[in-house]
Amino acid sequence: MIAPIQATGLGKRFGRTWALRDCSIRIPAGKIAGLVGPNGAGKTTFLHLVAGLLAPTTGEVTVFGRSPRSQLLLLLDRVGFVAQDTPLYTSFTVADMLRFGRRLNSRWDQASAEQRLRGLNIPFDRRIGHLSGGQRSQVGLALALGKRPELLLLDEPVARLDPLARREFMQGLTEAVAEDGISVLLSSHVIGDLERVCDYLIIITEGRVQVTGEIEELLAAHHLLVGPRIHESVRPPDVEVIKASHTERQSSLWVRGRPPHMPEGWREQPVSLEELVITYLSTPGAAALPRPELEEVSA
């Protein structure tokens, strides 16, 4: 199966600044992948490279095995993209926006786009400029889903929405994806949202990929070990310590892997997704990437 997105050594430089560096990612088909990282980490750059809006400086990215630059025509109908802040024509009505989608996309599904927006009680004769932020995001999503994409790219789709609109948006997204088996890559810095909908995680910091993997596997592989205070230089065997913090009496170690046996006085706790993300984001040097040989086998 050809991966929806495969990046190898992908890099993008703007002037003297590298927005993205040496990025190698393979996103599996039929999953909702979350792209997480602080502002300015390179999430938008990565999405723009995948959507064919930008050309890479180094390396390459393929979408369903094709280059978004030289073979864009073959991909435009298959990839739905909602850019940051959901750009739409503010003077168009909702119906105009759907007509725009119908006119420009050969596989357009008018009925399902209409049904989606009707279900959300979005008035078709209202101008985009007069919609609420949540409604606007929903129109953007309906437009991207209406073209019946095989890959959907969403750049911070819920960043400006209130919690209720966020939940509605994510719910709509999950339902649509479950129905059509679309692969999704969505960026966000709201980890709570990702936890509910995503099954694959990519963490980017300072233009580099730090973590990629199935969320379930990542959660199963990471643990928090809490025990009596140990010296800072002490490293438990057979695990990789991502982060350690020490109080006067107690040491906490966020580790990848599982020690074969727990020493006296230590206990193991599961790590939540939010904790996992924050642990990695606060230690930019740490990484959890699939080993190259595994990559080859699965490819």
Partner 1 sequence: MSWVTWKQHRLEGAWALSIGTVLAAAIAYVAYQLHLAACPDAVNAYCFTGDLGGQIAQQLANFNLYTYGLAVLPALAGAFIGCPMVAREVENGTHRLAWTQGVTRLRWLVTKIVLVFVPVMAIAAVAGALEVVLINQLGSNPNRWNWFDQQAPVTVAATLFALSLGLFVGAVMGRSIPAMAVTLVAFVIVRIGLAELGRPHYLAPLAYTTHDMSNFNSPPQVYPGAWWVDYASFYDSAGHMVSNAGSANGAYATNVTYAIQHFQPADRFWTFQGIESGILVGLSAILIGFAIYWVTRRVS
Return residues touching partner 1 (CB under 8 A). Answer: 48, 51-55, 72-73, 76-77, 79-81, 83-85, 87-90, 92, 96, 99-101, 103-107, 143, 147
Residues 6+ apart with CB under 8 A from 132: 165
Q: Which pair of structure tokens corresponds to residue 159?
A: 């960043």
Instruction: Give the nearest distance from C-beta 73 to partner 1 in angstroms.
Output: 6
Nearest to partner 1 of 81, 200 (CB atom): 81
Instruction: Give the nearest distance from C-beta 78 to partner 1 in angstroms.
Output: 9
- The type of residue at 28 is P
Nearest to partner 1 of 110, 269 (CB atom): 110
Q: What is the DSSP letter of 296?
A: H
Name the maximum alpha-carbon separation found in the chain: 68
Instruction: Give the nearest distance from C-beta 90 to partner 1 in angstroms.
Output: 8
Nearest to 173 by CA among 31, 273, 1, 49: 31
Nearest to partner 1 of 42, 236 (CB atom): 42
Distance (Å, whole) CA 221 – CA 230 = 23
Nearest to partner 1 of 151, 224 (CB atom): 151
- Give Cα 141 to chain centroid, integer Å: 16
Q: What DSSP string runs through 2-70?
A: --SEEEEEEEEEETTEEEEEEEEEEEPTT-EEEEE--TTSSHHHHHHHHHTSS--SEEEEEETTB-TTT
Nearest to partner 1 of 73, 164 (CB atom): 73
Instruction: Give the nearest distance from C-beta 146 to partner 1 in angstroms.
Output: 10
Nearest to partner 1 of 97, 225 (CB atom): 97
